[in-house]
Structure 1
Amino acid sequence: MDFLRGAEEAAYRELTAPDAWVPYPDTEPVLRALHQRGLRVAIVSDFAWDLRTHLAHHGLDALIDTCVISYEQGREKPDPQLFLKACADLGADPRATLMVGDNPVRDGGAAACARTSFRRNTAPVSAA
């Protein structure tokens, strides 16, 4: 059993390592353009680990104003409170906020609060 536990922990470390996570190719240019225009950006994540480490590893952390991570809030998507927390962190009115998501079910709570929502079709990006 110790072997299995060790293998499970090693697999989790490998899965959650910053270099195992690859942003979509358009992530940095889009975030940079938003940042240069003075638009504030929040990420609401259901990841089971701290996404901020990954953002920093890929040089994206300076382009994100706040991260709301579900496990830190004791909530899971589609709970709209996660989106509302992100808006509060940004000082933004949710009804004047664009929400971009990739899953209509998981992002449904936020989409119901936002003025506009946009669904981005995504496919996994593999590490090169």
Structure 2
Amino acid sequence: MYSEDEAIKQNIKTNLRKFREANSFTQTQIGIILGTGRTTYTKWESGDTLPNPVQLAMLASIYNKSVNDFYRDENGFTVCSTMFDEPYTNHFLSELNDDEKMLLSKFRLLNDDEKKKVSEYIEEISKE
């Protein structure tokens, strides 16, 4: 029988892989998007370590899920109560192709100055 901590770890690691594969991402791609690297992400999926709450929230956004979805088992039961009760409702990411998802995810991780530069560049090349 699992303890609650073991069940949480099992659900998170299982769902990390399930959601990543359902969105056609590689571990390397997610590592790049999050700025953690593939090795760190691989440790999350193997259950050696777990993402912190901020990383879990970022993953929920990328996968168009709620943070609670990571805690659910295969039957939809949640083994603990999290502070994130509302599902992420923006379906915009799910309509993008893989390259668009990657670009948008990377853009979201930029600081304000970098985002401004990218936006200016896009404006410039879209006028051509």
> Shared fold by TM > 0.5?
no
Q: Greater share of strand residues, 1 or 2?
A: 1
Structure having greater relative contact order (Cα 8 Å, sep ≥ 6): 2
Q: Greater share of helix residues, 1 or 2?
A: 2
TM-score by length of 1: 0.26
TM-score by length of 2: 0.26
